[in-house]
A and B are shown apart, each in its own frame.
Chain A
């Protein structure tokens, strides 16, 4: 089975600091990669996704992520965080096996707290 590792369980930053959240996965084939965000009291929603093409993908609210195939990584970044970015962030992966796309696997999540 695949696994998804998010190494940072809780990150605390001050506003305007830069953010990088790590995500590594275990599957060696073709993958689709996602970052989801869960703001306090809100639905889990898609932040950004990678299917193919440019490994640097941009999402909502100024977030971006870079797919590095050789490192099996899909780290999330934001140059300057805001208090409103306080949320839990989940990395997720699914893998193609031939012409079949498998189910989604989620990491354990990273709680980001931004102090004003």
Chain B
């Protein structure tokens, strides 16, 4: 079954701790993305990677870090420097644009609560 998996579904952490969210895809997509979803704010791009060992900051990268050591994996670390980390985090992937095709496929998300 092809798709994107994110684990865990719910995550609770104490303030001041770093936490890493997992994202794995078996769609053989080159590009992967992390978004943050907050009520009324839509999806905001945190980081994206178009190829292994390369990634770029999105609109709200401060307080987050990523790595892309394998094509199928794109973990996101929420560091203690992130001022408001409680949110719903979505991972997505896509093929690079070939002939105009560029839709993104989304995982089920991880809801992070930091207290």
Docked complex Cα distance between A94 and B97 (Å) = 11
Q: Which of A91-116 contact B (CB under 8 A)?
A: 94, 101, 103-104, 106-109
Is there a chain A Cβ closer than 8 Å to B26's Cβ? no
* A residues near B101, Cβ cutoff 8 Å: 51
A-B contact count (CB 8 A): 45
* B residues near A18, Cβ cutoff 8 Å: none
* A residues near B102, Cβ cutoff 8 Å: 32, 94, 101, 104
Q: Which of A52-105 contact B (CB under 8 A)?
A: 52, 90, 94, 101, 103-104
- Across the interface, do B103 and A34 meet the contact criterion of CB distance under 8 Å? yes
Q: Mark B71-115, 1 if CB is under 8 A from A, else 0.
A: 000000000000000000010100001001111111111000000
The chain A residues found within 8 Å of chain B, CB to CB, are 6, 9, 32, 34, 36, 42-46, 49, 51-52, 90, 94, 101, 103-104, 106-109
Q: Can you report 24 residue pairs joining A to B where beta carbons are below 8 Å apart?
A: A6-B42, A9-B40, A32-B102, A34-B103, A42-B108, A43-B106, A43-B107, A45-B106, A46-B105, A49-B103, A51-B100, A90-B42, A90-B43, A94-B102, A101-B102, A103-B45, A103-B48, A103-B58, A104-B45, A104-B104, A106-B35, A106-B42, A106-B44, A109-B42
